Amino acid sequence: MAEIDRHTFFAWLNASAGGRFQVPWFDLSGLNLRDVDLTDANLEGTNLEGTELAGAILKNAIMVNANLTLANLHGADLHGTNLTDANLHGADLTDANLYATNLTNVRRDKRTKGLP
């Protein structure tokens, strides 16, 4: 059986979901999702603790109640993403695009980097 790379896999998943990656309330903790395109994804309540998301494209994603504890979002594109009630304890959002990102009631601590 041939292996496929993660970019191809996520592109296939996104296309199979009608162009909108849907994994609400799923556990994706600790995965390497560096540079993956998750535009318009539904990641509501998803556990992304410790996930590598540097350079990922998360434009207009729904990430309400997502757990991003210790996630690396360095340089990620979060333009228009809804992070309402997300847990960002220890997350690194350095150089992330936060234009029009909804940060209502996000939980963060002194280790969280890159938030206004």
CATH 2.160.20.80 fits 37-116, yes or no: yes
SS3 content of the chain, % helix, strand, coil (to 5): 10, 15, 75
pLDDT of residue 12: 59
pLDDT at 72: 98
The CA-to-CA distance between both ends of the chain, in Å, stands at 47
- For the stretch 54-96, pLDDT in tens is 999 999 999 999 999 999 999 999 999 999 999 999 999 999 9
Q: Using an 8 Å Cβ cutoff, are 87 and 70 in contact?
A: no
pLDDT computed for residue 2 by the predictor: 46
Q: Is the dihedral of CA 49, 52, 43, 3 positive or negative?
A: negative
pLDDT digits (tens, 9 = 90+) for 4-50: 466 666 665 656 555 666 777 888 899 899 999 899 999 999 999 99
pTM: 0.85
- Residue 11: predicted pLDDT: 63
Residue spans of the domains in the chain: they are: 37-116
CB 112 within 8 A of CB 89: yes
DSSP-based three-state secondary structure for 67: strand
